[in-house]
Structure 1
């Protein structure tokens, strides 16, 4: 992966993570850096998943279907991380 690919993954991952937080209802108890990390991971997994199910990811414009898959994966990731972090917090406060 080139440096341009890495920078693009970070930028797209940040956007995907923020979109996932906006899509999920309620308040998520995770920080910004964790959201960005989940978004970056979701962007990479979402692209691989889109390729696996036959969605074209190498187009000349914005790949809207690929972006949709990435946001769905990121929303699942943010919800999972927020629920796991919430469990740890409630177990400590008891």
Structure 2
């Protein structure tokens, strides 16, 4: 992976993480760094699942892939917020 690819992954991960955080109701007591890490992991998982479903490469914006990424990010944020809230 090139430097540009890493920077792009961080930016996309941050966006996906924030979108996932917006989907989860209530206040999440997690850091922005954890949100970005969750977003990066969710983006990778969403892309992988989209490729398994055969919808990774479409004309225009890959809405199904983006929806999968945000859904994974929302689940990750909910798990992280839930585990940090119990402490």
TM superposition score normalised by structure 2? 0.89
Spell out the pairing of 1:41-80 with structure 2 (5 A cutoff): 41-55=41-55, 57-59=56-58, 61-80=60-79
Q: Is the radius of gyration larger for structure 1 or structure 2? A: 1
Unmatched 5+ stretches in structure 2 = none
Is the counterpart of residue 10 in structure 1 residue 10 in structure 2? yes
- The total of aligned residue pairs comes to 87
Unmatched 5+ stretches in structure 1 = 90-94
Q: Cα RMSD (Å) of the superposition?
A: 1.3
TM superposition score normalised by structure 1? 0.83
Q: Distance in 2 between matches of 1:52 and 1:6?
A: 23
